[in-house]
Amino acid sequence: MQEKECSSLDWDEIIEIVRKTQGVTLEEASAARIAAAHMAVRRTLAAVAEGSVFDTEPAGFPVALQALARTAEDER
């Protein structure tokens, strides 16, 4: 059995928040997985998005895909 102290998020609280805000009922095992995922993503984002994202744009990704494609000039 996982310890409830495995993360700073309390499973019962998670169940309550999702029930109150989304109207969806979670089981405790789901809440435990969600708690673990939140802590993992918090660590990941702390590493990859530690700076400001103020100057990013919503269209940044498709524009980057286009810009990073090989051009005819590259192929020559």
Minimum distance from CB of 74 to other proteins (Å)? 9
Query: Quick check: 8 binds other proteins (CB under 8 A)?
Result: no
Query: Quick check: 72 binds other proteins (CB under 8 A)?
Result: no
Distance CA 74, CA 18 (A): 51
Query: Quick check: 28 binds other proteins (CB under 8 A)?
Result: no
3-state helix, strand, coil in the chain (%, to 5): 65, 0, 35
The H or E element containing residue 16 is helix 11-22
- Positions that interact with other proteins (CB under 8 A): 14, 17-18, 21-26, 29-30, 33-34, 37-38, 40-41, 44-45, 47-49, 53, 56, 58, 60-66, 68-70
